[in-house]
Chain A
Amino acid sequence: MTINKLPVICMKMNNMGGIQLNTVRKCKWLSLLVVTSLLILSACNTGKSELYEKTITGATDTAPGGLFNPIFYVDMYEETILELTHERLVKQNEKLEFEPNLAKSWTINEDHTAVTFELEEGVKWHDGEPFTADDVVFTYETMSDPDYVAAGGLRTLFVEPLLDYEEYNAGETTDFKGVVAEDDYTVTFHFNEPSITPLYMASVPIIPKHVFEEIPIKDMPGAPASQEAESIIGTGPFKFVHITDRERYIFLRHEDYWQGTPDIERINYRVVESSVMIGLIEKGEIDFVGRPSGIQAADYSTLEPNENLQMIEQLDFSYQVLGFKLNHRTDEDVKNSAIQPNNWVENKKLADPKVRQAITYALDREGMVNGLLYGKGDVINSPIAPQHWASSEERTNKYPFDPEKAKKLLDEAGFKDVDGDGFREDPEGEPWVLNMKYPAGNQLRERTAPLIKQQLEEVGVRINLKQPKEMSAFLIDMENDDKEDDTDLYLIGWGLETADPDPTELWSSRTPWNYSRWNNAKSDELIKQALTAPKALEQEYRAETYAEWQQLYSEDLPAVLLYIEPALWVYNKRIGGVHALPHTLFDDIHKWTVD
């Protein structure tokens, strides 16, 4: 390691530096040497390696945390990288419907309580071992284990509906019945109740049994098999060969890949500061940028004219909302972190739906998309992402920008300016000030907040815009919504699940993330119906139920949907065979080619 030696020599020089005449000279001489060698260095650009001819380089603006295990990973950056190395039984197509992947076919039983998958044969793990039904069972068994959550696992959602999950998870039985291997290449998922989304439940990336079976579950996240390049084993088209923590991730192709050896030999995946990313893309040092970071809307037009680049403009699965705090919880419930809609106390300032509709009319959302997102992204009125089959934008109220209508609605609701100061008072003539809170950290959101204040004050709604707090502190404020809490309006962004449109976790009354504390019996009923067999087994029925729910949402308005953010991706045209889907750039990456 030559690299270790130089600093040591310099240190010695330093410590004595300036004491003796000759040392000073030496130090100067050394620095001269350093400067000269730097000049030489800069001349001979050692930038690109010729180690593998067919190398492409991708980039993201945020470093993944470093846990590359598909059942334990934490962030979206890890998730994206895992798409190269690990695979699922089923994957999603451009309509977000599930199609075969490691499973070549499946049959669902009559009452929808079981689904049997026929697996591809001849699939090999990166270390050469064959992939079998036992690996699938092992993956789900691990996630159902009592130790899984304690070890840091988060995705119990996928195993909770499995047959006798509760008993197994409580440690009452060691007999795992949820996922059963019929033979080496046939595996059956059993559910407690008829499953509306059996394929979604089967879409967890599979981990290798032969690698993990000897490791206690509590040690799995910390094990080399979850963190160290050569030890991370999947079935995907590329395998990990190197990690420079938070900086660079290197993959080589999986020669035995079951769908054919990829044409690309090597993929470099770099973490690059977003302000320099554009320059590197233009220079050709970066060949592709996809989910989750993408490129900034402001940079899109800079890259667009470049003939070497192929731009991809889509909608992302995340939107920003202006929430209305409709109810507060009782002090007691906050203390016990209980969500009991019957106890809630109504926030009188926003109780009238007309007021909420007026506020929505007063906001120039089209203008926000044009001004803040450079015309990328879109205005939406339905809280289900437009990419989904369940989205029903046409059934919603549209709320175009209309300050006059906003004023009229506010007048009708009795909120009038009685003292002539330019701001409206409530129907009792008392001052009416709405407190607005938002988290810091997202530039887009930080620029949206003052715009909202300005636009609402134009129709006479006085806004007290609070100083933004960092996300952790903001979330604590949102969760401590007892009597003392003075929040009326809040900004937040939600990333939506790409697999299923079910809105239970964001908008049903009992979910903690329903920060509006929206309590609407009809809404809860519809959300539940859309998940209740047997009717909900038909997608058409679900779509119709969700359409009705979206209509209700847009009338009752627990929140204004400000805009859906764009997903702006780019790749260099020297890469061929790219097939971008709404949720990934990496679909069929083994078919990518490079000149």
Chain B
Amino acid sequence: MARYIIRRLLVFIPMLFLLTLIIFSLAKAAPGDPLTGKQLDPTVSKEVYEIQREELGLNDPLPTQYWNWLSSFTSGDFGQSMYYNGRSVESLISSRLLNTVYLGILAYLITLAVSIPLGIYSARRPYSLLDNTATTFGFVGLAIPNFFFGLIGIYIFSIHLGWFPSQSTMSDPLLTGIPAFMDRLHHMILPAITLAMAGTATYMRYVRSEALDILGSEYIRMAKAKGMKERTVLYKHTLRNALIPIITLSGYEFGILLGGAVITEQVFNYSGLGMLFIESIVNRDYPVIMAINLLLGATILLGNLLSDILYSVADPRIRYD
């Protein structure tokens, strides 16, 4: 197992390298550079921007620019933002990364907490009232776009009922300790539920159909015939096997939760990585684009590795060596 993991980790290096090359070429292929968008201020002369282009190295040949980025990156430096004067990429990312991670984890927990019990229950009593309700809910959850669900949530729970705040990550940064923690949690609830919607629906459908298959299989009938308790059959034999697709999905989910919260973050003005990502693309802020993509790429690769490892835990027949 350890050898397998090391081998996989070593494969990541060329993959990530290739990723940076692709992203760099794509980012550079887009028209304009970090200074084009700023140039709408007629009180600033064009020469000023020319000097700054030279300073940022934007006039160098592309391979040189890539090499400069790569060499500073490998020495652990993400570089400076080219759009936001004087701001380091690290400071831009680090302030938001945690926000996004917290939100992602809460959303993931909600997804699991809702989808697994509902999926199992639906499989046990297919076409019952609850199953039908859950199925409908699942399709609606998939069909409603995130931003719309978010806005409805804000309208009902925030503006109308006043239960939850609708914007930003906290109400007062000057708070400390437990109240600060509770305050942040309070702010995460609506966006986390919104973010969890689509995932919950998908997971539930997977668990339901998988469990339905398993419940009809011979070994379950065998277990029941042996006189095993219903609960044991359900949780020990059915659930465990039904989790395989969930594990597969979860591997990708890491990346999705990190980068896919763009719209939710926008609606709730939740300052996270997603918002920064969009901004950096619009602003052609190459160093930020590169850093975020690399982060997402690495997370997805790690997520996949993790899910591969978890397969063998969930199903001992799967072995790696």
Contact = CB atoms under 8 A, between A and B. Distances in A.
Given A250-B173, A472-B284, A475-B39, A31 B236 contact: no
B109 A154 contact: no
Interface string A131-147: 00000000000000000
Interface stretch (B61-69, B78-86, B294-302): B78-86
Given A472-B36, A506-B42, A19 B52 contact: no
A151 B80 CA distance: 12
Interface stretch (B124-132, B159-167, B211-219): B159-167
Contacts of A14: 108-109, 112
A280 interface: yes
A521 interface: no
A505 B31 CA distance: 25
A161 to B, nearest CB: 13
A49 B174 contact: yes
B88 A222 contact: yes
Contacts of B180: 3
B227 interface: no
Range class of the B interface residue count: 35 or more
B31 A17 contact: no
A66 interface: yes
B109 A513 contact: no
B140 interface: no
Given A154-B44, A273-B267, A18 B105 contact: no
B28 interface: no
A245 B17 CA distance: 30
A450 interface: no
B175 interface: yes
Given A21-B235, A280-B167, A247 B271 contact: yes
A16 B185 CA distance: 24
Contacts of A155: 43-44
Interface in B138-163: 151, 154-155, 157-159, 162-163
B39 A18 contact: no
A501 to B, nearest CB: 13
Interface in A1-52: 2-3, 6-7, 10-11, 14-19, 21, 24, 27-28, 30-31, 34-35, 37-38, 41-43, 45-49, 51
A497 interface: yes
Given A28-B117, A155-B44, A150 B86 contact: no
B40 A475 contact: yes
B53 to A, nearest CB: 11
Contacts of B172: 48-49, 51, 268
A227 B116 contact: no
B179 interface: yes
Nearest to B283: A472
Interface in A270-328: 270-273, 275-276, 279-280, 283
B32 to A, nearest CB: 3
B112 A27 contact: yes
B184 A74 contact: no
A276 B177 CA distance: 29
Given A18-B116, A150-B55, A279 B159 contact: yes
A365 B110 CA distance: 52
Contacts of A43: 163
A209 interface: no
A248 B173 contact: yes
A382 interface: no
A128 interface: no
B113 A149 contact: no
A149 B52 contact: yes
Contacts of B240: 18-19
A483 interface: no
Contacts of B159: 276, 279-280, 283
B15 interface: no
A223 B310 CA distance: 46
A276 B32 contact: no
A244 B169 contact: yes
Interface in B216-261: 235-236, 239-240, 243, 246
A41 B314 contact: no
A18 B314 contact: yes
A582 interface: no
B178 interface: yes
Contacts of A250: 173-174
Contacts of A221: 85-87
Contacts of B22: none
B209 interface: no
B9 interface: no
Given A24-B235, A157-B43, A227-B87, A244 B170 contact: yes
A473 interface: yes
B85 A38 contact: no
A445 to B, nearest CB: 13
Contacts of A34: 109, 113
Nearest to B179: A46
A476 B236 contact: no
A27 B109 CA distance: 9
B72 interface: no
A220 B85 CA distance: 10
A10 B86 contact: no
B48 to A, nearest CB: 5
Interface string B47-75: 01001100100000000000000000000
Contacts of A470: 282
A45 B162 contact: yes
B96 A47 contact: no
Contact of B171 (A27, A38, A47, A222): A47
A476 B239 contact: no
A75 B276 CA distance: 16
Interface string B19-43: 0000000000011110011111111
B38 to A, nearest CB: 7
B271 A18 contact: no
A67 B86 contact: yes
Contact of A74 (B45, B84, B101, B154): B84
B202 interface: no
A471 B37 contact: yes
Contact of B266 (A151, A273, A279): A273
Nearest to A506: B42
A11 B253 CA distance: 14
B95 interface: yes
B5 interface: no
Interface string A224-243: 00110000000000000110
B115 to A, nearest CB: 11
B16 interface: no
Given A11-B105, A472-B30, 15 more contacts: A18-B239, A42-B164, A43-B163, A45-B163, A46-B183, A46-B186, A48-B171, A150-B51, A152-B86, A220-B86, A242-B174, A247-B269, A270-B168, A273-B267, A495-B40
30 contacts: A2-B177, A15-B310, A16-B313, A18-B314, A38-B189, A41-B189, A46-B179, A48-B172, A49-B172, A51-B174, A65-B84, A72-B85, A74-B38, A152-B52, A153-B48, A154-B48, A156-B45, A221-B86, A222-B86, A242-B173, A244-B95, A244-B168, A244-B169, A246-B275, A248-B170, A250-B173, A271-B269, A279-B158, A470-B282, A512-B46
